[in-house]
Amino acid sequence: MKARLDEQTIALRAAREFTDGAVVNLGYGLPCLCADFVPGGKTVFFQSENGILGYGGLATDAEKDYEMINAADQPVTPAPGMCFFDSALSFDMIRGGHIDIVVLGAYQVSDKGDLANWGRPGRPATGMGGGMDLAAGAGRVIVTMLHTTREGGPRIVKDLTFPLTARRCVSLIVTDLAVIEVTVAGLVLKEVAPGWTFREIQDLTEARLKLAADLKEIEL
C-alpha cells in the first residue's frame, strides 16, 4: 500500500492557502494543527469563536493559562495586538463576513460542496458548536479530512448521509491523498499524494472527479 499523508502534512498543505493578512479560524481537531504551519513571511490573524483575535501559537505546559484558550479548549499564547470579545460579538464577526478563511474537519463533503461535520447517525445529542455559523459566514471554507472512513468507505460523496452543516459552502478539500477544488462544474482533482494516480483516487471517491489540466504531486 502506498503511503498516505499524516495529519501534520495535511495541516501544512492546508496552511499554504493562507494569504498574508488573512483572518483565519481553525476548527476542532486536525485544523488546529494549521496554527503551527503559517507560511514564512506571512502574517495571519487567528480568530477563535470563544472570543479572541490574533493569538500566537499553541502554548507549552509552562506557558498554559486556562483563561487563554482556543475553541478546542487548547491553551494558546498571547501575541501583540490581540484582542478579546464576547461570544455575541464573535459571531457577528463570523456571520458578518469578517473571517477570510475557515479550516474545518468533516465527516463527509458532497460534490456540490455540502458539508457534514457535526453529527453522526446514532448520536443525536452531540452539537454543531460554531460549525454552522462558520460554514455559512466565512469567505472561504477549507476542509481537512481523511479521504476515506476507517472501514475504507468514501467520505467525498454524491449526497450526504450524515447531518448537514451548510449547503454549498466548501471551496477546497485537503485529504491524506489529494487536494480537490470544489467548482461550479464539480470536483476538480488538483494535487495527489506522492505516488498516487487519478484513477486510484477516483476509486476511493464516490463523487465524480475531474482531472485538472495541471495535476501535480503535493509538494512536501
Residues at the contact surface with other proteins, assessed by CB under 8 A: 48-52, 65-69, 71, 73, 84-88, 90-91, 94-95, 118-120, 123-133, 136-137, 163-167
Which amino acid does the sequence have at 169?
A: C
Other Cβ atoms within 10 Å of 58 Cβ, number: 17
Distance CA 57, CA 12 (A): 14
Nearer to other proteins, 44 or 115 (CB): 115
> Which DSSP state fits 158?
S
User: Residue 79: which of 61, 98, 52 has the closest Cα?
Assistant: 52
Nearer to other proteins, 29 or 188 (CB): 29
The CB-of-100 to other proteins minimum distance in angstroms stands at 17
Check: CB of residue 132 under 8 Å from CB of residue 100.
no
The CB-of-8 to other proteins minimum distance in angstroms stands at 21
C-alpha cell read off for 114: 455540502
The three-class DSSP label of residue 90 is: helix
Nearer to other proteins, 128 or 204 (CB): 128
C-alpha cell read off for 51: 472570543
The catalytic residues are 49
Question: How far, in Å, are 6, 16, 206 from residue 180 at the CA level?
Answer: 17, 14, 13
Distance CA 14, CA 175 (A): 9
Nearer to other proteins, 49 or 100 (CB): 49
